[in-house]
Amino acid sequence: MAFNDLLGPADTIASVLVPVAVPGAYTYRVPAGETVVPGTIVKVPLGSREVLGAVWDVEPDTGIDPKKLKYISRVYTHARPIDADLRRFVDWVANWTLAPPGMVLRMVLRSEEALEPEAPVAGVRWVSGRQPDRKTPARARVLDILGDGLAWTKTGLAHAAGVSASVIDGLLAQEVLEVIEMPAAPPPPQPQIDYSRVALTPAQQVAADGICGCFEKGPSVSLIDGVTGSGKTEVYFEAIAEALRRGKQALVLVPEIALTEQFLRRFEQRFGTYPAEWHSEITPKTRVRVWRGVANGEVRVVIGARSSLFLPFLDLGLIVVDEEHDTAFKQDDRVSYSARDMAVVRGHLSGFPVVLASATPSIESRVNADQGRYLRFLLPDRASGAALPDLQAIDMRVEGPERGRWIAPALLSAIRHVFAEGDQTLLFLNRRGYAPLTLCRTCGHRFQCPHCSAWLVEHRFQKRLVCHHCGHFEKVPDTCPSCSSKDTLAACGPGVERVAEEVADLFPQARTLVLSSDIQGGPDRLRREMKIVEEGGADIVIGTQLVAKGHNFPKMKLVGVIDADLGLAHGDPRAAEKTFQLLAQVTGRAGRVTGGGRGFLQTYAPDQPVIRALLSADRDAFYAAEIDARRAAGLPPFGRLVAIVVSGPDKGLAEAYARAVLRSAPPAQDLTILGPAEAALAMVRGRHRYRLLALAPRRFDLQAYIRAWLSAAPRPVKGLRLQVDVDPQHFL
DNA sequence: AGCACGCCGACT
DNA sequence: GTCGGCGTGCTC
């Protein structure tokens, strides 16, 4: 102690962001002989453990008692310090999302192992001239491979020679082979800019040229707005090629891992090699390799989930956000952020182009483009020349099926036709299970979730009633729990299982397949089934939104939407937008490759704007109508929508708190509370969440406002979480 | 008494 | 986010 005090005043101090939920950086002493700069990655003692952190400031002004300061326990000299751009990004995201900066930094430091210097690989080599005592065939094969004098890894050699590792061990024991240190793993193969260029359509060429022209101009956002099959990927591949040409790295964000496989193949066709992948499912080894490669610049292109935004790129020059409208870009737990919006921010901070691509852009991106903040490139036709599917509505009030059936006669005859031709049909219903509601015919009892207020959905295959909100499930009873009568429970409405039952009844000879997220057997099974559909091994597919994304189904000629109104009923202000996006994606599957596709939308309200927009393929009209509708409802079309999510065990407290935040201290009058919306009350793993929607004026600094409110709160608020959901365009 | 479990605050 | 402290309540 006395020793430390003596040395203390001479020590350098540094503020370090630690990966815990504290409001700011902590201060540590820098051990004598070590140098740190802003961004240096370090290990520091925190409480009873050691944690990773990063130096955020050197020699900060702090009022902390110097006696309290501990020493940085390790400086990662081999890892490149986090550069100024990424540090600014971390701070920006922390401020925007009201998250502690250390928690944002945690997303950067995702692989502790990657910070260690790369370990040399042990290899084996033939000691020239040496021969084994007996030359068995296995030994001969090994020596044959090693004949050129090059070193191999033990496992690699065993594999190549088709022998077990013990053969090599035997040769090592006789000192015919020797162990040497090989240089660490060679750099990954580089994408070749001109490996295989495809001819672009005129519209694609205009878009590609426009985006490539942005690289000179500093920050920019381009929206590629193209119908399904219009070749958005080819366009942004040209942007990637341009980034590579300029020696920059590129990042492609996709909403789900499921979409990467097809992307990897297409990338390989264009650039001759695979890009690096980054998402939660990659192996720890790959994680280390990619993190290092991104940091040292050997990895040129990454495709990844939202977390790849926080990778420490050496020189990032382009971000592409594919399917930009997809809500999977929003992270809801821990630091809650929208990866699409934060991609725009990262591009802005570092001064490079960002490309958003979608067949059904989000309203906010459309408005940003309309108002000139984004460039917009329209791809109105399919690149293959195939015609868009011919869509029509079926008015269920006048031409619906008989009671207890869900497929209308018009759709039915179309399925018959397509089936007879040997082509595929997709029946789309975004509802898992057999029936969304079960009731007792005698007393009218309805099965409801004991935790949420949602109806329990019958899953007949599993013989369960399941809450799709919180995951609660129970056995299907024989008798009504309310009136005890036997065999009086009636299933109301369809789920995919029930539609599949109807299909099996109507088309006993057809090969049918149900694709929904609750199929048993994990992601492998799902991949296999997708492949079956892709290769034409199923005639009629009944699927939930799982089938809306990614995969190409070349034989799919007909898409029937069983309930096009589903999802429009609730109080979600984005319901129409989401339904439009989902149904456009789903119906776009029909005839995507070959053309000649047809689609049917079963609806009880064929005149509503969503249906009309889908039928006329006039998307502009839909966007205009939707923007008007939001204005009329007092909602902004985009941009100033603020959702304050407060979570905690007590709904009443959460609501009161959310309202108080928005109403208390000035300038609260600048905010308009719109009331609870979008999942007003949900149960997420046993925790209630309450979401309050409000409007903030364009330049209103909501973050500063909420922080001020929190510090002025009469009593500390516990157990509650805040989340701000705003399009940041206006704030850049 | 001894310990499993859950809540709460501290962590530089 | 994670740990340790301390309270409650139950048992080999």
By C1' distance from the Cα of A334, the closest nucleotide is C1
By C1' distance from the Cα of A718, the closest nucleotide is B8
What's the CA–C1' distance between A687 and C12, in Å? Answer: 36
For A670-683, what is each residue's pLDDT tens digit? 555 555 443 333 33
Nearest to A309 by CA among A327, A292, A326, A294: A294
A686 φψ region: left (φ > 0), alpha (ψ -120 to 50), beta (else): left
Assign 3-class secondary structure to A234-266.
HHHHHHHHHHHHCCCEEEEECCCHHHHHHHHHH
Amino acid at A652: G
The pLDDT value given to residue A178: 82
Percentage of chain A surpassing pLDDT 70?
84
What's the CA–C1' distance between A645 and C11, in Å? Answer: 43
The pLDDT value given to residue A172: 87
Protein residues in reach of strand C (CB < 7 A): A 19-22, 46-49, 103, 106, 334
Q: Indicate whether A407 pLDDT > 90.
A: yes
Q: Indicate whether A276 pLDDT > 90.
A: yes
> What's the mean pLDDT in A40-55?
96
For A546-574, what is each residue's pLDDT tens digit? 888 767 788 999 999 999 999 887 656 67
Q: H or E stretch including A125?
A: strand A121-126
Is any atom of strand B within 7 angstroms of residue A26's beta carbon?
yes
* Protein CB footprint (7 Å) on chain B nucleotides: 8-12
Is any atom of strand B within 7 angstroms of residue A21's beta carbon?
yes
What's the CA–C1' distance between A577 and B2, in Å? Answer: 61
The pLDDT value given to residue A145: 83
Burial class from Cβ neighbours inside 10 Å (0-12, 13-18, 19+) for residue A503 reads buried
Residue nearest the C1' of B10 (CA based): A47
By C1' distance from the Cα of A106, the closest nucleotide is C1
Q: Indicate whether A229 pLDDT > 90.
A: no
What's the CA–C1' distance between A24 and B10, in Å? Answer: 15
> What's the mean pLDDT in A258-273?
91
The pLDDT value given to residue A691: 57
Torsion sign (Cα): A198, A203, A206, A211 = negative
pLDDT category, A621, cuts 50, 70, 90?
confident
> What's the mean pLDDT in A50-54?
96
By C1' distance from the Cα of A103, the closest nucleotide is C1
* Protein CB footprint (7 Å) on chain C nucleotides: 1-4
Is any atom of strand B within 7 angstroms of residue A259's beta carbon?
no
By C1' distance from the Cα of A719, the closest nucleotide is B8
Task: Return the higher-pLDDT residue of A222 and A589.
Answer: A222
What's the CA–C1' distance between A400 and C10, in Å? Answer: 63
The answer to whether the CB of A264 falls within 8 A of the CB of A275 is: yes
For A63-95, what is each residue's pLDDT tens digit? 777 778 999 999 999 999 999 999 999 999 998
> What's the mean pLDDT in A97-116?
93
> What's the mean pLDDT in A656-661?
66
List of A residues 390-449 with CB within 7 A of strand B: none
Is any atom of strand B within 7 angstroms of residue A205's beta carbon?
no
Q: Indicate whether A435 pLDDT > 70.
A: yes
Is any atom of strand B within 7 angstroms of residue A14's beta carbon?
no
pLDDT category, A514, cuts 50, 70, 90?
very high
pLDDT category, A686, cuts 50, 70, 90?
very low
> What's the mean pLDDT in A120-141?
83
Q: Indicate whether A530 pLDDT > 70.
A: yes
What's the CA–C1' distance between A539 and C7, in Å? Answer: 63
**Which residues of A carry a binding-site annotation for Zn(2+)?**
440, 443, 449, 452, 467, 470, 480, 483
Range scoring the smallest mean pLDDT among A1-5, A90-94, A215-219: A1-5
Q: Indicate whether A153 pLDDT > 60.
A: yes
> What's the mean pLDDT in A615-642?
73
> What's the mean pLDDT in A503-532?
88
Mean pLDDT taken over chain A: 85
Task: Return the higher-pLDDT residue of A662 and A195.
Answer: A195
What's the CA–C1' distance between A93 and B12, in Å? Answer: 23
By C1' distance from the Cα of A100, the closest nucleotide is C1
What's the CA–C1' distance between A112 and B10, in Å? Answer: 25
Q: Indicate whether A275 pLDDT > 70.
A: yes
pLDDT category, A7, cuts 50, 70, 90?
very low
How far is A548 from A526, CA to CA, in rounded Å? 14
Buried b (16+ CB within 10 A) or exposed e, A244-278: beeebbbbbbbbebbbbeebeeebeebbebbbbbb
> What's the mean pLDDT in A634-657?
59
What's the CA–C1' distance between A17 and C3, in Å? Answer: 19
For A316-358, what is each residue's pLDDT tens digit? 999 999 999 998 998 877 788 889 999 999 999 999 999 999 9
What's the CA–C1' distance between A85 and C12, in Å? Answer: 60
Is any atom of strand B within 7 angstroms of residue A56's beta carbon?
no
Task: Return the higher-pLDDT residue of A449 and A59.
Answer: A59
